[in-house]
Amino acid sequence: MKIAVVGATGLVGTKMLQVLAERNFPVTELIPVASPKSIGKEIDFKGKKFKVVSVEDAIKQKPDIALFSAGGSASLEQAPLFAQAGTTVVDNSSAWRMDPTKKLVVPEVNANVLTADDKIIANPNCSTIQMVVALKPLHDRYKIKRVVVSTYQSVTGTGVKAVDQLFNERKGIDGPKAYPYTIDLNVLPQIDVFTENGYTKEEMKMVKETNKIMGDDSIRVTATTVRIPVMGGHSESVNIEFENDFDLAEVRELLSAAPGVVVVDDTANLKYPMPLDAHDKDEVFVGRIRRDESQDKTLNCWIVADNLRKGAATNAVQIAEYLVANHLVGQAVEA
């Protein structure tokens, strides 16, 4: 497999390279791509050095798969150029997610929708990914009516500038700001810009993307997304109302058996998921599983995952793995 990573020098692009190496993805040729200022720089991959090239040079090399993490505007412009060359693009930005002609994929939930004709595949929002991985087995068994989610999201979701802001503030250094307010020892109830309905774009992403990935527009979702001064991963408090009643022991069994899910739920011994424990792991961790005593057929749980891995890089690589395993890439290039 000839693989391009577009945005290879960014937080998510760097993590994509790490995940490709760790999972022994069959990379026969790596093509790192980044902005013009990074062209010519060298990156390490599995002990070898690779020079960063331009988008134009990468397209000429006709990679089988291009993993994109270069931002929405770059993706809108460049992904179709790769697709025209026969490359299958897995894009991590929000550019294509709600395009009705593009698939929005979390492999544990809906990889079966993919075909060889899908040349631009959207990677969902980080906070949506971890939630639907846990929701899927419960929806299949009990049918979800409504989800109320509040998120507690890591500064790594914003990027390097936000990480620098947090640590600068912690050290008393006045530096560039990624946020309009102090993030250290603070909580910001805003992720992305506000829309006309009073929700932020991040909140509306969780609503719309959940419906699209689950393939069920009847699931009602409401979200409040919050930035907190942590590293390692995003956390979510999720309240799920079902059409059918459930047994708590069976809920734990379903989640324990679900692909990509690890149940950490032993409150007697103070065991529950935390971002520190999820850091650099690919699984989605679920705990604090309990019945909502204020409403019938309703469950509360706590979901944690590393937003740079399962929330971005790992999910993209898993999509690529599915494409390879099911012989859905390479045909256009060979033709």
d(CA 130, CA 260): 9
Give the active site residue among 126, 139, 279, 301. 126
137 and 71: one domain? no
291 and 156: one domain? yes
Q: What is the domain count for the chain? A: 2
Which CATH number characterizes residue 244's domain? 3.30.360.10
Q: Checking phi first, is residue 233 left (phi over 0); if not, alpha (psi -120 to 50) or beta? A: left
193 and 319: one domain? no
Which residues are part of a known binding site for phosphate? Answer: 97
Residue 234 annotated in active site: yes
Residue bearing tokens 């798969």? 65
246 and 112: one domain? no
Percent of the chain with pLDDT over 90: 97
d(CA 39, CA 54): 6
Per-residue pLDDT tens digits for 123-163? 999 999 999 999 999 999 999 999 999 999 999 999 999 99
Q: What angle do CA 73, 223, 147 make, to 5 degrees?
A: 125
- b/e for 33-52, b at 16 or more Cβ within 10 A? bbbeebeeeebebeeeebeb
55 and 170: one domain? no
Q: What is the mean pLDDT of the chain?
A: 96
282 and 158: one domain? yes
What's the confidence (pLDDT) of residue 95? 96
Give the active site residue among 139, 234, 279, 301. 234
Torsion of CA 302, 285, 137, 252, to 10 degrees: -80
Residue 133 burial (C-beta neighbours within 10 Å; 0-12, 13-18, 19+): buried
Per-residue pLDDT tens digits for 212-230? 999 999 999 999 999 999 9
Per-residue pLDDT tens digits for 63-107? 999 999 998 999 999 999 999 999 999 999 999 999 999 999 999
d(CA 11, CA 9): 7
pLDDT at 108 over 90: yes
195 and 97: one domain? no
Give the global pTM. 0.95
Per-residue pLDDT tens digits for 172-204? 999 999 999 999 999 999 999 999 999 999 999
326 and 268: one domain? no
Per-residue pLDDT band for 332 (boundaries 50, 70, 90) equals: very low
CB contact at 8 A, 147 and 221: yes
pLDDT at 288 over 60: yes
Mean pLDDT value across residues 2-23: 96
71 and 157: one domain? no
Q: Domain residues for 214?
A: 127-307
Which residues are part of a known binding site? Answer: 9-12, 37-38, 97, 153, 227, 307
134 and 119: one domain? no
Mean pLDDT value across residues 239-266: 98
Structure-block tokens of residue 325: 């395993």
Residue 139 annotated in active site: no
Residue bearing tokens 């793995």? 321
Which CATH number characterizes residue 84's domain? 3.40.50.720
d(CA 278, CA 311): 11
Mean pLDDT value across residues 113-129: 97
What's the confidence (pLDDT) of residue 282? 97
213 and 255: one domain? yes
147 and 185: one domain? yes
> What is the bridge-based pairing of β-strands 234-242 and 144-153?
antiparallel
